[in-house]
Amino acid sequence: MNFIRRVWLSALVLLACGGWFGVGAQSTVAPDYAAPVAPGASPSPNNSRAPSAFQVGTAFAVADGYWLTAWHVVDGKDFVLLGPIERGRWVRAEVVKTDPRLDLVLLKARINRPALAIARWQDVPVGLEVSVIGFPQPRVQGLSKKITQGIINGNRSDRNESIDTGYFQLSAEVAMGNSGGPVLAPDGSVVGMVQKKVNVQRVAERTQDVLVNVSFALKSAQLLDFLKESPAQPAGHALSLETVLRPYQLFAQTEGSVLAVVARQASSRSPADAAIQP
């Protein structure tokens, strides 16, 4: 535990000095910052960014000691931490189950927080107000939970506009670090997981049009299917359209079940080593 604390203290120094390199960057197209990959497919190569030694994302509790996040947050990393919890502590997590196609990973850690209920997707209407809780751009915004709001804009289809891909579009603002975070209905239940964001700059170059807050989340039905054959098996929750919590109430009710994920390669340079590079 002392070693883990030293690792994270070094990382915090980097964050404070602006020396954190490549938060969210990786050798694959990270759904947080790139144009959406082919629905249902593994992320495609992206040579514009070098692999990052560290990755930051968001996870949420789905059962006692079990946490769900996006697979690309921990892909290629062998040292995963969840936190911060009481007194700023961080706890090492174990990868229990992965699905690269759905970009999902189940983690196990000695942290027991109330599991967030996962709504049945058939109860979720287009136009529903939703909130996202996570850790966007920790280098810029600091390592504290943020909440943003929007609506479910609609379902994402393939290029023929004929097949539901399992994702929905939402207008809540997200950024690198939100990956793996829950998309919450007004009653506090999870309706999806943040995974993809349109590369605004690339789209603007091609279309001469600017898209604002166009992001995609994996539907709750996919989350429940993934968890069926796992130690964490939450039952589908009936969404209550009559229960409408205000943003501060929703945050207060659910934020304890949302933590940051920090993943790194054990063989990579330590944060302290990286900080002294010119």
My answer on whether 22 and 46 are in the same domain is: yes
Query: What is residue 52's predicted lDDT score, i.e. its pLDDT?
Result: 65
The Cα–Cα gap between 70 and 84 comes to 18
CATH number at residue 252: 2.40.10.10
Query: What is residue 148's predicted lDDT score, i.e. its pLDDT?
Result: 97
My answer on whether 210 and 125 are in the same domain is: yes
The Cα–Cα gap between 255 and 249 comes to 10
User: In this model, does residue 6 exceed pLDDT 60?
Assistant: no
The Cα–Cα gap between 234 and 228 comes to 8
My answer on whether 108 and 32 are in the same domain is: yes
pLDDT band at 123 (very low <50, low <70, confident <90, very high): very high
| pLDDT tens profile 53-63 | 788 999 999 99
Higher pLDDT, 233 or 174: 174
pLDDT band at 174 (very low <50, low <70, confident <90, very high): very high
DSSP letters for 127-151: T-EEEEEE---HHHH-SS-EEEEEE
Tokens 């495609």 belong to 44
User: In this model, does residue 189 exceed pLDDT 80?
Assistant: yes
> Within 13 Å of residue 134, how many CA atoms lie on the same side as its CB?
32
My answer on whether 90 and 147 are in the same domain is: no
My answer on whether 17 and 145 are in the same domain is: no
Closest by CA position to 164, among listed 219, 104, 125, 119? 219
My answer on whether 132 and 49 are in the same domain is: no
My answer on whether 31 and 158 are in the same domain is: no
My answer on whether 245 and 122 are in the same domain is: yes
Q: 0.85 exceeded by the pTM? A: no
Q: Is 9 helix (H, G, I), strand (E, B) or coil?
A: helix
**pLDDT, mean of residues 182-196:** 96
| pLDDT tens profile 20-63 | 222 233 322 333 333 343 233 333 333 344 456 788 999 999 99
| pLDDT tens profile 220-256 | 999 999 999 899 988 789 999 999 999 999 999 999 9
My answer on whether 217 and 175 are in the same domain is: yes
For residue 159, give both structure tokens.
Answer: 């290029």
CATH number at residue 38: 2.40.30.20
Output the CA torsion 250→117→225→68 (10° steps).
Answer: 60
At a CB cut-off of 8 Å and minimum separation 6, what does 273 contact? none
Query: What is residue 48's predicted lDDT score, i.e. its pLDDT?
Result: 40
My answer on whether 17 and 70 are in the same domain is: yes
Long-range own/partner contacts, residues 16-21 (CB < 8 A, 24 or more apart): 17/275, 18/139, 19/274, 19/275, 20/54, 20/138, 20/139, 21/52, 21/53, 21/54, 21/274
* C-alpha 24: how far from chain center: 11
- Asked if 99 contacts 224 with a C-beta cutoff of 8 angstroms, the reply is no
DSSP summary character for residue 189: -
My answer on whether 8 and 34 are in the same domain is: yes
State the residue range of the domain holding 252.
118-256
Q: Tally the domains of the chain.
A: 2
Mean predicted lDDT score pLDDT of the chain: 78
| pLDDT tens profile 80-118 | 999 999 988 999 999 999 999 999 999 999 999 999 999
- Residue 218, beta-bridge partner list: 167, 193
Tokens 């994402």 belong to 156
My answer on whether 53 and 152 are in the same domain is: no
**pLDDT, mean of residues 121-145:** 93
